[in-house]
């Protein structure tokens, strides 16, 4: 390389750096576990990203990477974003927890936001939504509407977030229907339509006429539709395409307000590491329209429950509740504390089967 080209190259690099500095855009990165077209979890996170773009316009630049596997590859994707000049990175799946912490340690000036985890650092916040509040409503409707008294549940991974949902749904189904039974199938994936469809079919074949899912695709909805007399609930996204039957309601994750708030904090320089866990009350968890397939009185009760949870009058985990082995967990009137809920690794009394270790 001659001196001339070296000088020219340096001048060019300086010029580019100067230009980049002049733009002064806040760069926000998003890591998604599924494709943004999954119609569920990643779709809603991407809606949040689009809301950020719309809200801030030219002041913000967003980048994203979809279908990033949980594990070592996630670290690579995050590192790439951090090196690419991102100021704030949202990592939107539980399995990104350790990768996020690792990468954050290497980039102290970049802010990280990890969804649904429990590990924080000076530049790592965590945020999640109280999906179990929505599960309580689903459990109520499921308990009232099941004719076979069998409710199928497609679990992704046996982690606290999913177990909390199963417990919450079961408690509220049991409350209105003492004969109800839950069958849980663990598929060990967040997104695999073929596997989710097979799991839904297996549950339906064994007599379940309600299928709850904690996986992100709409394949279980399609399987239920084919079966005809089975009801389902949209997961993470409204999945309204499958209403009014089989989808009778849904839990919708609404991340937009939170994302806008946190991007603003980074712009203002007021961002600090926080732990956010919001539910129906702040609108982070929304209950999708309850369709006419649900009897009017059940719909009314469900809406009343949404109201009560939103107003803070009712907590889905209110004692007396025993653990699966029969030992006491919550006394009469006692409410579960967030610490126990965040690390929940046990079934409540009445659920058969074991949590895989």
Residue ranges binding another protein (CB under 8 A): 35-39, 43, 67, 152, 183-186, 188, 191-195, 197-199, 201-203, 205-208, 217-219, 222, 225-226, 241, 352-354, 356
Based on CB atoms, which residue is closest to another protein, 159 or 305? 159
**DSSP, residue by residue, 146-198:** -SSSEEEEEESS-SHHHHHHHHHHHHHHHHH-TT-EEEEEE-S-S--HHHHHH
Minimum distance from residue 249 beta carbon to another protein (Å)? 19
Beta bridge partners of 185: 154
Identity of the residue, 99 or 152, whose beta carbon is nearer to another protein in the bound complex:
152
Measured from the CB atom, the residue of 98 and 198 that comes closer to another protein is: 198
Closest approach, Cβ 296 to another protein, in A, equals 29
Shortest Cβ 30–another protein spacing (Å): 17
Question: Which residue has tokens 């097979």?
Answer: 198
**What phi and psi values does residue 277 have, to the nearest 5 degrees?**
-140, 90
Strands (DSSP E) along 85-132, which ranges?
Answer: 88-91, 111-115, 124-129
d(CA 15, CA 5) in angstroms, rounded, equals: 15
To the nearest whole angstrom, how small is the minimum distance from the Cβ of residue 221 to another protein?
9
**Nearer residue to another protein within complex by CB, 141 or 211:** 211
CB 43 to another protein: min, Å = 7
Question: Residue 153's Cα: distance from chain center in Å?
Answer: 16
Cβ proximity to another protein, 125 vs 183, nearer residue: 183
Nearest CA to 69 among 230, 191, 201, 213? 191
């Amino acid at each position: 390389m001659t001196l001339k080209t070296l000088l020219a190259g340096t001048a060019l690099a300086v010029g580019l750096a100067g230009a980049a500095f002049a733009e002064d855009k806040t760069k926000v990165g998003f890591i998604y576990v599924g494709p943004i077209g999954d119609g569920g979890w990643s779709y809603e996170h991407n809606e949040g990203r689009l809301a950020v773009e719309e809200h801030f316009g030219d002041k913000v630049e967003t980048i994203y990477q979809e279908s990033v596997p949980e594990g070592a590859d996630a670290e690579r994707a995050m590192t790439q974003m951090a090196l690419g000049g991102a100021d704030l990175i949202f990592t939107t799946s539980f399995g990104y927890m350790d990768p996020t912490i690792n990468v954050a340690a290497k980039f102290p000036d970049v802010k990280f936001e990890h969804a649904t985890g429990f590990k924080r650092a000076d530049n790592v916040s965590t945020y999640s939504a109280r999906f179990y509040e929505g599960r309580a409503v689903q459990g109520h409707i499921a308990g009232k509407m099941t004719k076979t008294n069998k409710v199928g549940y497609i679990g992704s991974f046996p982690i606290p977030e999913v177990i909390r949902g199963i417990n919450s749904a079961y408690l509220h189904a049991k409350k209105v229907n003492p004969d109800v039974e839950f069958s849980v199938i663990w598929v060990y994936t967040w997104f695999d339509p073929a596997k989710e469809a097979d799991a839904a079919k297996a549950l339906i074949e064994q007599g379940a006429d309600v299928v709850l899912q904690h996986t992100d695709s709409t394949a279980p909805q399609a399987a239920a539709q084919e079966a005809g007399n089975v009801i389902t609930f949209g997961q993470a996204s409204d999945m309204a395409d499958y209403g009014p039957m089989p989808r009778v309601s849904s839990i919708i994750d609404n991340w937009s307000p939170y994302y806008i708030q946190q991007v603003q904090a980074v712009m203002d320089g007021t961002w600090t590491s926080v732990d956010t866990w919001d539910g129906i009350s702040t609108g982070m968890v929304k209950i999708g329209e309850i369709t006419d397939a649900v009897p009017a009185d059940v719909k009314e009760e469900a809406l009343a429950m949404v109201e009560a949870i939103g107003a803070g009058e009712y907590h889905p985990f209110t004692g007396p509740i025993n653990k699966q082995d029969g030992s006491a967990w919550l006394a009469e009137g006692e409410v579960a504390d967030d610490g126990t809920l965040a690390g929940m690794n046990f079934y409540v009394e009445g659920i058969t089967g074991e949590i895989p270790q």
